[in-house]
Amino acid sequence: MSENMGLAPPRNPPIKLTRKKVRAGFKKRVIELSGQPVDACYQCGNCSSGCPLAQEMSILPNRIIRLVQLGQKDDIIHNDTIWICASCFQCTVRCPKGIDIQAVMDTLRQIALEEGVDHFGPDQIDPEHAAEVPQPGLVGVYRKLST
Ligand code: SF4
Ligand code: SF4
């Protein structure tokens, strides 16, 4: 039996901070590109509690915002959360600080793609399955999830 007795894998792993990462320009770039005041976030959790896909994410949306504040670019762009986000705006309308979290997620995907971090590739589709998927669906997936 696994160590966690068959429960879902642990989410929101501890943040490993380094001075170098915190001082890098990642947060500034996210603020510039998204236009969002990420420093205003006080971790109320409203965004995550309303997110319809939170159960699928290994890092919750409020925690992503905290990682942005702390400049932890690598932890964000190599994580599944920014790709699972469906841009539904639920988090954005729930934020008491007026942060458009969806715009931040969009920016983070843009930064990940700029850095060549693809989340999806042709080798991940089983050829038998690919034959049944509508072509516009495949094109849409590639446009969102790969460079
Ligand atoms: S926009 Fe993304 S993060 Fe926000 S509630 Fe929707 S799925 Fe969740
Ligand atoms: S709802 Fe807004 S203030 Fe609250 S945790 Fe999410 S981003 Fe931060």
Domains identified in the chain and CATH numbers: 19-116 (1.10.1060.10), 119-147 (no CATH)
Contact by Cβ (8 Å): 99, 44: no
User: From atom 2 of ligand 1, which residue's Cα is the shortest distance away?
Assistant: 85
Is pLDDT of 2 > 70?
Answer: no
> Hey, CA dihedral for 4, 119, 107, 77, is it positive or negative?
positive
User: From atom 4 of ligand 2, which residue's Cα is the shortest distance away?
Assistant: 44
Query: Which amino acid is located at 38 in the chain?
Result: V
CA 52 from centroid of its chain's CA atoms: 14
Verify whether ligand 2 is closer than 6 Å to residue 77 (CB atom): no
Instruction: For the chain, give the percent of residues with pLDDT over 70.
Output: 84
The highest-confidence range among 23-32, 77-86, 96-105, by mean pLDDT, is 96-105
Q: Tell me the mean pLDDT in the region 119-132.
A: 74
CA of 68 from ligand 2 middle (Å) equals: 12
What pTM did the predictor assign? 0.79
pLDDT class of 89 with cuts at 50, 70, 90: very high
Ligand 2 binding pocket mutation candidate from 30, 89, 92, 99 (most atoms within 8 A of CB): 99
Verify whether ligand 2 is closer than 6 Å to residue 104 (CB atom): no
Lowest mean pLDDT, pick from 10-14, 34-38, 55-59, 91-95: 10-14
Q: Tell me the mean pLDDT in the region 48-76.
A: 94
CA of 127 from ligand 2 middle (Å) equals: 41
User: From atom 6 of ligand 1, which residue's Cα is the shortest distance away?
Assistant: 88
Contact by Cβ (8 Å): 77, 147: no
